[in-house]
Structure 1
Amino acid sequence: MTFRIVSGTASPELAGATAAALGTGLAACRVERFPDGELRPGVGHLRGADVYVVQSTGPPVNENIMELLLLLDACRRAGAGRVTVVVPYFGYARQDRRGAAGEAVGARVVADTLMAAGAQRLVVVDPHTAALESMCAMPVEMVSAVPTLADALAPSVAEGTVVVAPDLGAVKLAEHYASLLRCPVAVVRKTRVSGARVHAEELIGGVEGRSAIVIDDMVSTGGTIEAAVRVLLAHGAEPGMVVAATHGLLVGGHTPLSGLPLRRLLTTDTVEPAPAPPLPVQVRSVAPLLADTIGRLHRNEPLDDLRIRT
């Protein structure tokens, strides 16, 4: 069975780089847009192929998800032998449980819909919750960009540097970074006030007089990072902190990041670059990671060393 890479319009550069790393090109694909906003994707000959559809579901999240669903259906109707959906950034992953009665579980709805559209397997990079796998009836491969980002951080890590989790949900992630960088871990406890506002309350761990690397799976509005940095400064951490996150959504004008004593933001290309915030941004590509993952899946090889740590 031959393999083919199909790219949606949300991730053309990443899909192209992934295909190039695999020594192939992208399969023929077009997405027509009608004046009223309707999408009509179409694909070329895929009959019997092992197909990997690459499409991130970052902003605009709903439009990119709808395009992905139609692409999956097009691949299925084109006779693909097997369809794997590669979603570097999985939108709605934060909605993994109900916060109150009457709310939807968005992550489950999206996962079920992807499967209904024709996906037989899902690949995601550093999803917001490891519980995503338990929500899906289809197999889920959760791979991590942490080693890629840690490799970029390593040359600038000084003695005494602390890896900081900006909330309790990022502790496992911080421990993964810390094990690779050989650094201790500190944790900020936060309370989310709204989708954009966060209140940080206390710090667990010593940071006084030390450099800090604040990590998270994503930077969306920057509110969580802002709250964590202010707590670190209040506890005597050195200015010039580094922020590392797999998904650099950077929505909302980056206002919370303005004025913070940050040295740089390190992220990946799981979503298309947003306008740069008021600090240096370094982007590492996950194309080698995705190419390795796709190659192993196609050859039915294990992914144990690529998976996230849970």
Structure 2
Amino acid sequence: MHLFAGSSHPALAKALSAELKAPLGSLVTKTFSSGERYVRFGESVRGRDVYILQTAGKHPNEDMMELFLLCQAAKLSFAKTVHVLLPHMPYARQDRVSEPREPISAKLIADLLEKAGADHVLVLELHSDQIQGFFSVPADALSSRLIFAKEFRKKKLKNPVVVAPDVGGAKRAKKFADALGVPLAILHKSRPEHHEAEVLEVVGDVEGKTCILYDDIIDTAGTLLSGKEALLARGANKDVYAAATHGVFSGPANDRLKKAGFAEVVVTDSIPQDDNAFPGLTVLPIAPLLAEVIRHIESGQSVSELYGE
């Protein structure tokens, strides 16, 4: 096994290398003055199983272009297999045509990864299950729910309930609720515009309960704020928690969350984070999960065994 990392998340690369007790391979990445990316493997990968770690951070287009180049460079250098570790897959929310003349951007990302040379893709907490079917090469869709379950068990919350931010996220939230052994509630919302969310109804009992809003991603935090307001209006405990795998925190998110007064906002380090971006932010590491998955792959074990499936 040869482990390499693009430039998108050096801290995660270092943590994964430490977990695996495997050094990071030599890699040259740079940007020309024209804005074009350049990559080169600094050592031979001929006949090797190559693992490339790259996530979509604050600059997803640049990060993905670098990843495509790395995959092709590995293939052209006669790597035996190219495993792509893509904790945060960009464009995942564009997984269907919801308005006339739109692309299915998530399908295009999957196609580009395959065309670039990926033999196997690992992604963390896809926005929807159908995206796994966009890949023709093997794709492991990992879940972070056990990471969050371990964290929230330690808190020993009073009368907790897991809240799905919408009907589409109910299946994900139900698995997390089952892992915690607590009930589930669901918000019914509409989106009048991109990055705008309006909660119309709360399905389930939240009165007097400590609510955990559980989602795959926090972007501008509009969904979180409208969800929190709806829960408090229906008698929920004032201490509302938020948990999501991918903390994008774009645009007004940090300012909104500084003022929102969540008891805690818990995300993973699938994207580089500033731990001090706003009060109450907790960042959980994913390197142990990624390392365990890689060990299972290398030994020919089932990845789903990690979730008791």
**What's the counterpart of residue 294 of structure 2?**
294
Once residues 47 and 204 of structure 1 are traced to their aligned partners in structure 2, the CA distance between those partners, rounded to angstroms, is: 55
Kept in 1: contact 2:48–2:81 (CA 8 A): yes
Which secondary structure does the structure 1 equivalent of 2:57 belong to? coil
Q: Tell me the SS of whatever aligns to 1:259.
A: helix
Give the percent of matched residue pairs that are identical in Structure 1 and Structure 2.
32
1:7 and 2:5 aligned:
yes
Structure 1 residue 157: Cα displacement: 3.2
Q: Which moved more, 1:47-56 or 1:149-158?
A: 149-158
Gaps of 5+ in 2: none
Q: 1:291 to 1:226 in 2, by over 3 A?
A: same
Instruction: Please state whether the residue corresponding to 1:53 is helix, strand or coil.
Output: strand
Partner of 1:108 in structure 2? 107
Counterpart residue identity of residue 282, structure 2: Q
Matches within 5 A, 1:267-286: 267-274=267-274, 276-286=276-286
Deviation string for 1:45-101 (max 9, x for gaps)?
111111111100132111111111011111112221100111000001111100122
Which blocks of at least 5 consecutive residues in structure 1 are unaligned? none
Show the 5 A alignment for 1:209-224.
209-224=208-223
Q: Which TM-score applies when normalising by structure 2?
A: 0.95
Q: Is the Cα–Cα contact under 8 Å of residues 52 and 85 in structure 2 kept in the other structure? A: yes
Change (3 A) 1:163 1:157: farther
Letter in 1 for 2:12: L
2:189 matched to 1:190? yes
- 1:129-188 C-alpha deviation (Å, 9 max, x unpaired): 111111111111011111011101112132421111111111111111111211111110
Deviations 1:223-272 (CA, angstroms, capped at 9, x unpaired): 11111111101101111211111111111132433432311111111001
Q: With CA pairs under 8 Å and 6+ residues apart, which has the higher RCO, 1 or 2?
A: 1
Question: Separation in 1 of the partners of 2:198 and 2:6?
Answer: 37
The answer on whether the counterparts of 1:166 and 1:189 sit within 8 Å (CA) in structure 2 is yes
| Alignment TM-score, normalising by the size of structure 1 | 0.95
**1:63-142 residue pairs with structure 2 within 5 A?**
63-142=62-141
3-state DSSP class of the match of 2:93? coil
**Residue number in structure 1 paired with 2:259:** 259
Look up the SS of the partner of 1:70 in the other structure: helix
Q: How many residues align?
A: 307
Q: Which moved more, 1:282-291 or 1:152-161?
A: 152-161
State the partner residue of 2:178.
179
Displacement of 1:26:
0.5
Which runs of structure 2 are paired with 1:40-59 in the superposition (5 Å)?
40-43=38-41, 44-59=43-58
Could you say what secondary structure the match of 2:153 adopts? helix
Question: Is structure 2 residue 209 aligned with structure 1 residue 205?
Answer: no
Between stretches 251-260 and 217-226, larger displacement belongs to 251-260
Q: Any conservation in 2 of the 1:143–1:306 contact (CA below 8 Å)?
A: no
The amino acid of 1:269's aligned partner reads: D
Question: What secondary structure sits across from 1:262 in the alignment?
Answer: coil
Structure 2 SS opposite 1:141: strand
Paired residues for 1:239-250 under 5 Å: 239-250=238-249
Give the secondary structure class of the aligned counterpart of 2:174.
Answer: helix
Please identify, of 165-174 and 255-264, the stretch whose mean Cα deviation from structure 2 is larger. 255-264
2: distance between equivalents of 1:194 and 1:166?
17
Corresponding residue to 1:19 among 17, 20, 23: 17
Secondary structure at the aligned position of 2:260 is classed as: coil
1:31 to 29, 51, 56: 29
Q: Deviations over 1:193-239 (max 9, x none)?
A: 22221111000011111111111011111011111111101101111
For residues 168 and 257 of structure 1, the distance between their equivalents in structure 2, rounded to whole angstroms, comes to 23
Distance of 1:221 and 1:277 partners within structure 2 = 14
